[in-house]
Structure 1
Amino acid sequence: MVSGDQSRSTAPATPEEAFCPADIMLVRTWLHNRSLHTARAYRADVAEFARFTGKPMAEVQLADLQEWHDSMSSASDATRRRRMSAVKSVLTHGAKLGFLQHDAGAAFRLERGRDSLNERILSRPQTLAMLAAEKDPRRHALLALLYGTGLRLSEACGLRWRDMTRRQSGGIATIFGKGGKTRHVQVSASLWKEIMAVKVDGGPDAPVIPGHDGGPLHVRAAHRVVKRAAKRAGLPDDASAHWLRHAFASHQLDAGQPVHWVQAQLGHSSLATTTRYSHANPDAVGADLLA
């Protein structure tokens, strides 16, 4: 229903328990004003490093980062880069604020990984097959929202009706996204009709995509919906909600949507990030991917 690497020592009950008292304050200031999803992921990465070294951040040396990096040989390149980037970031933050006497991560050179984005972009037939196989209206609406707008999973789950504005054709969703940035995302007429069909509460704080009980849809539950839909469509095991975001970007550009429009829709701070998907015809108009 819809609703709500191996370390040197035994993992503590919570990520924060991996830190000494001084490091708890350091990590809290580092994560201040980040989104809940981002903060959770970054805290877990830094806690994993703290468990591995068994040291407070003030005692960390370059050799510790190198050893941890080498210990993650079984992890994917993307996972290893993400973890190392998180640790380098907190060390830099600590040094700038005077929490740490030196930045041990400054000398660690993070390798540029192979760009495998093309492996995570679904074709139109694959994407439509994923949606067609989902018969539950709420679950289908979730998949349609992710593909039809390019929202991140956490953004879709956090969307409330107070964030939605009706327009003559479709509407606008106001998204409070990554990095505390606000953007306005176009919602096509067909998608607006679909999400209206699963609306269970007329209040402004009601979720746009409700859970089975009418309450907010939890990110973990939404993740399971996407994984099950991908499996039914015969997609790779690592297919995720972010693959629908990639598909949105690629298919809109293929349909001739201007690259700056796609950039704004996705909330990319850099145009270079958007142009990784393809090159768009600047004179073309957008497409209703769900029509």
Structure 2
Amino acid sequence: MALLGDWLAQLSAVRGASPRTITAYRRDVSGYLGFLALHEGGPMGAEALARVAVPDLRAWMAAERARGLSARSLARALSAVKSFHSWLAEARGAPAPAVSATRGPRTKQRLPRPVSPDAARALLAAVEAQAEEPWIAARDLAVLTLLYGAGLRISEALGLRQSDAPLGETLRITGKGGRERLVPVLPVAARAVEDYRALLPYAPGPEAPLFLGAKGGPLNPRLVQKAMQTARTALGLPATASPHALRHSFATHLLEAGGDLRAIQELLGHASLATTQVYTGVDQARLMEVYERAHPKARG
């Protein structure tokens, strides 16, 4: 559909949406438009989309739930649909008030579950020991050490290039929404990366990914997740002990050691302090302390 293509092109060119975001939005809104075409008996142009009513939205959401979509996934899809209609209102003069007024399904907030420092160390040791190839063991250890020691997302670690190594004292990371941040690199993380590079059986160019798969191509994040799954199973840890849990653990352990919540927010690349609050499980009293230090006038 031309309207969908125009919207996605605008998201990519003007707002800098990531390819992953574009793919998710395309899937969600294509499904929505496909449902409406069947529901209304024909393709939907801008004028027809402006006439979408609450019963239409409810019928679409009911159909999505019936095919097994979770409440969380449906809420995400509705957010994409609202964004699409918002663009239609601005770019095509076709507002759909019913869409903006529609509420998504209630979802339970999934709180992060960081692992303890001892469990984190055990996981790293287990991941290193379980790979048959020494260079792959060193690779997996280096990736997970960056997640736990620098608070990187797995996509950020796998987005590093050969030219980023050897790692210095800080690392410039471009995270979600194109936000850049400087992350301190612990010596243990820098050493882990160099140990991996010393064993790497390939000679990639400077623009090649830092972390490579067994055949020399980019490392698939699923392989990192699989290595973590094998390690946690061997250690008897719960399924919540995922690679992303190491990032949560980085933040939580910093906070427990007396780290400043604002500083941790910057290290994680969060746009909102409230996100960091949820991430670390910090209580409201601690959050207000941070707000008061940042805004002294709040004390009156």
**With structure 2 as the length reference, what TM-score do the two structures score?**
0.74
Indicate yes or no: 2:84 matched with 1:90. Answer: yes
Which stretches in structure 1 are left out of the alignment for 5+ residues? 1-19, 283-291
CA distance 1:232–1:38, shift in 2 (3 Å): farther
Would the aligned equivalents of 2:166 and 2:190 in 1 still touch at CA under 8 Å?
A: no
Residues in 2 aligned to 1:99 and 1:243: alpha-carbon distance in whole angstroms: 44
Provide the alpha-carbon RMSD of the alignment: 2.9
Indicate yes or no: 2:117 matched with 1:114. Answer: no
Residues in 1 aligned to 2:266 and 2:256: alpha-carbon distance in whole angstroms: 17
* Residue correspondences, number: 259
- 2:170 aligns to what SS in structure 1? strand
Say which of 4, 7, 10 aligns to 1:29: 10
Residues in 2 aligned to 1:164 and 1:222: alpha-carbon distance in whole angstroms: 20
CA distance 1:240–1:40, shift in 2 (3 Å): farther
CA distance 1:194–1:34, shift in 2 (3 Å): same
Alignment match, 1:141: 142
Residues in 2 aligned to 1:261 and 1:207: alpha-carbon distance in whole angstroms: 29
- 1:72 aligns to what SS in structure 2? helix
- Report the structure, 1 or 2, having the larger helix content: 2
Q: Deviation string for 1:204-249 (max 9, x for gaps)?
A: 3243323224443233444444444444444444654332222222
Residues in 2 aligned to 1:231 and 1:42: alpha-carbon distance in whole angstroms: 34
Alignment match, 1:269: 271
Indicate yes or no: 2:23 matched with 1:40. Answer: yes
**With structure 1 as the length reference, what TM-score do the two structures score?**
0.76
Q: Deviation string for 1:39-71 (max 9, x for gaps)?
A: 222322223323333353633423333223334
Residues in 2 aligned to 1:45 and 1:266: alpha-carbon distance in whole angstroms: 28
Which stretches in structure 2 are left out of the alignment for 5+ residues? 38-42, 130-136, 291-300
| Amino acid in the other structure paired with 1:109 | R
| Amino acid in the other structure paired with 2:60 | W
Q: Deviation string for 1:257-282 (max 9, x for gaps)?
A: 21122111111111121122124898
Deviating 4+ runs (over 6 angstroms): none
Would the aligned equivalents of 2:213 and 2:219 in 1 still touch at CA under 8 Å?
A: yes
| Amino acid in the other structure paired with 1:37 | R
- 1:106 aligns to what SS in structure 2? helix
CA distance 1:101–1:270, shift in 2 (3 Å): closer
Say which of 162, 165, 180 aligns to 2:178: 180
Identity %: 35
